[in-house]
Each structure stands twice: as structure tokens, then as C-alpha cells.
Amino acid sequence: MTRSDERREAADWFAKQKRAVMSVEERGDFDAWRQNPRNLAALNAMHELWGEMAALKGAEPALEARPLRRRVLGGAAVAASIAIGGLAAFATFQPLAFAQTEQTAIGEQRARTLPDGSVASLNVVTRIDYRMHGDRRDVRLREGQALFVVRDDKNRPFLVHSGDYEIRAAGGGAFDVRLRDGAAEVSVQDGAVQVIPTRGKDAGHVIATLAAGRRLRLAADALDATPPKTEIVSPQSVAEWRLRTVTYRDVTVAEAVEDLNRFFPRAIEVADPALAWRRVTLRLQAADREEVLRTLSALLGAQVERRERADVLTVSAS
């Protein structure tokens, strides 16, 4: 395949992501396509160009609608679909006995089709457990972040348990759940979900219904009296981490670095407490570690010291 073909396919997938939420089948095709590092690099370049255009114009540029060319996947994808079909059949015959765990390591992202046909996309350092029942579909997010594209089944609600909360999708849709230090964050890309505490005075009651383009931040402890914070977000940005794009809004440098360390085997550290507690808002492409270090050091006015076990950000000498 020529570089021109790679760019054209990247443009097709980029346009599809911007126009609408992809179907379960399209997400399977996309995940197979982006496993090729050259394809992912072409797509990342497309996102960088898009961001530059938006910055110049002060708004997101208009997108020309054009049909997405579907690719015929090879034998590996056919084998994967056969395996998925076998899992679905097993779940149909033994719905109460089926239980599985999926997890990712540092730097690893993975998408899996669940036995009911829904798709779970796992971010780096993430673990989920799931069990399909006759009357419901249960997923437990133990750690990390995952996007769930839910197959519509009105007879079996799709439930994601995260910390002290349950996120319920009655029909189809797509939503993202992130769990860090016990605190949960729910973002809806398509459809709607309900948020239900599992402990405290509101246990078992719906405290929020989120539609597409809404994000809810929940305290680590459901007994915390602090009201949940709801934000408006772009549905297209809900799962941008799948392209290894990360956005931090008003967080400490320490928090951002802790999160970035989930993407790279070699750690980044912050030596100066004043630098670690500095609050920042930034957007990074977490695909190239050296580029991340260069960007961080430039934005923070810091130097990078190469040490045996880590690269350390230090305050530049004045």
C-alpha cells in the first residue's frame, strides 16, 4: 500500500469518527485497521492537522461528508470473528455461568466484543470483569478507563459497576467510564445512561441521567456530600484516548505525569514539589514518548534529566 493510500484511508476513518458514532461492526473494522503502526501514525497526523486548523480559525472546521470505503479484512479478522461467534454461542447456551476478565498493561489498548455483541474498548492499564445474565449484563470496571458500545437489548440492561456507582444503559449507545483512585467519571458519546449510587442515602436511586455530550464526575466515596459535577463535552472527544490523545484541564503536573506513565514503560518523574503542584491545561499525543517529554519540558520551562530508572523533569536554572 502506498503512503497516499494510507493517508486516504486515514482521512476516511477520521471523517467517519467526526460525522457520527460508529456501529459495532465499523468499530471492529477500525480496531483491526489501526493495529498497523503506519495506519495509526497517518490517523494521528490527521488529528494534529485538524487541531491546527481549528486553532487558526478559532472553531472546528467544517467537514465534507463523503462515503467511507469499507475494507475487506484478511484471514486474521475472519478468525477473530469466528472466535467471537463461538463466545456468543457459549453465552447463549450458558448465560448464568459465563464470566470473563479483560485487562491491559502499560501502553496497551485493546477492544473486545463481549458475549452479547457489545464492544468494550480498554485504555492503558485497565481491567474489567463481566458476566452475562438472563435479565441483565454486568461489567465491573476494576481499574482504568473503558468505552462501552452497547448492543441494544431492552430486556437486559447493560450495567457498569465502578467504585460506589452503577452506570445503567437501558438501550443501545456508547459511553466511557474512567476510574482513578476510586473516583469515577462518566462521559456519554451516544444514547443515554443513568447513574445510581450503590451505597449511602441515595443507594439504589437514580441521581443523574446523562445524554450524549454530557460528562459527570463522581466522588470516590458515595457518602461524600459534594454534588456531582456535570460538564458539556463534544461527543467526538469522549473516546479520543483511543487515538492516544490525552487532554488535561486544570490538573496538577503530578496528576498529568502519573496518567502519562500509564502509556510508557519508562517512567517520567517530577523532582521539584513546586513544579509537581503547578496546575496546567494541555493536550498531548501520547504515541511518542520523546515528543511528550519535549512538549512537557517546553511548556513547563523545565529540563529533562536522564537517570537510570526514569527521566526526571526539573526546574530550569535561571
Q: Closest by alpha carbon to 22, among 231, 244, 169, 172?
A: 172
State the alpha helices, DSSP H only, in the chain: 3-19, 24-33, 37-57, 75-93, 253-260, 273-276, 289-300
Answer whether residue 298 shows pLDDT above 60. Answer: yes
> What mean pLDDT is predicted for residues 4-33?
69
244 bridge partner residues: none
Contact 187, 215 (CB under 8 A): yes
Joined grid coordinates for residue 1: 500500500
Decide: 275 and 313 in contact? Cβ < 8 Å.
yes
User: What is the CA angle 252-257-263, rounded to 5?
Assistant: 145
Distance from first CA to last CA of the chain, Å, rounded?
50
Q: In this prediction, what percent of the chain has a pLDDT beyond 90?
A: 53
Q: Which of 133, 1, 121, 141 is nearest to 71 (CA)?
A: 1
The x, y and z cell numbers of residue 94, run together, are 450458558
Per the CB < 8 A criterion, the answer to whether 186 and 151 are in contact is no
Q: What are phi and psi of 189, to 5 degrees?
A: -95, -35
Average pLDDT of span 198-227 = 87
Q: Which of 22-26, 40-44, 45-49, 136-140 has the lowest mean pLDDT?
A: 45-49
**pLDDT at residue number 69:** 40
Q: At what angle do helices 24-33 and 75-93 cross, to 10 degrees?
A: 140
Confidence of residue 19 (pLDDT cuts 50, 70, 90): low
Q: Of 36, 279, 276, 22, which Cα lies nearest the Cα of 147?
A: 22
Average pLDDT over residues 187-195: 95
Residue 60: helix, strand or coil by DSSP?
coil
Residues of the chain with pLDDT > 70, as a percent, come to 76
pLDDT of residue 74: 42
pLDDT of residue 93: 36
Q: Taking a C-beta distance cutoff of 8 angstroms, is the pair 154, 170 a contact?
A: yes
Its sign, for the CA torsion 114, 159, 154, 98, is positive
Using CB atoms within 10 A of its CB, is residue 239 exposed (0-12), middle (13-18) or buried (19+)?
A: buried
Given this model, what pLDDT does residue 148 score? 97
Query: Which of 130, 188, 184 is CA-nearest to residue 158?
Result: 130
**Do 260 and 266 contact (CB within 8 A), yes or no?**
no
Q: What is the arithmetic mean of pLDDT over 117-137? A: 94
- Rounded alpha-carbon distances, angstroms, from residue 137 to 24, 60, 110, 146: 17, 37, 20, 16
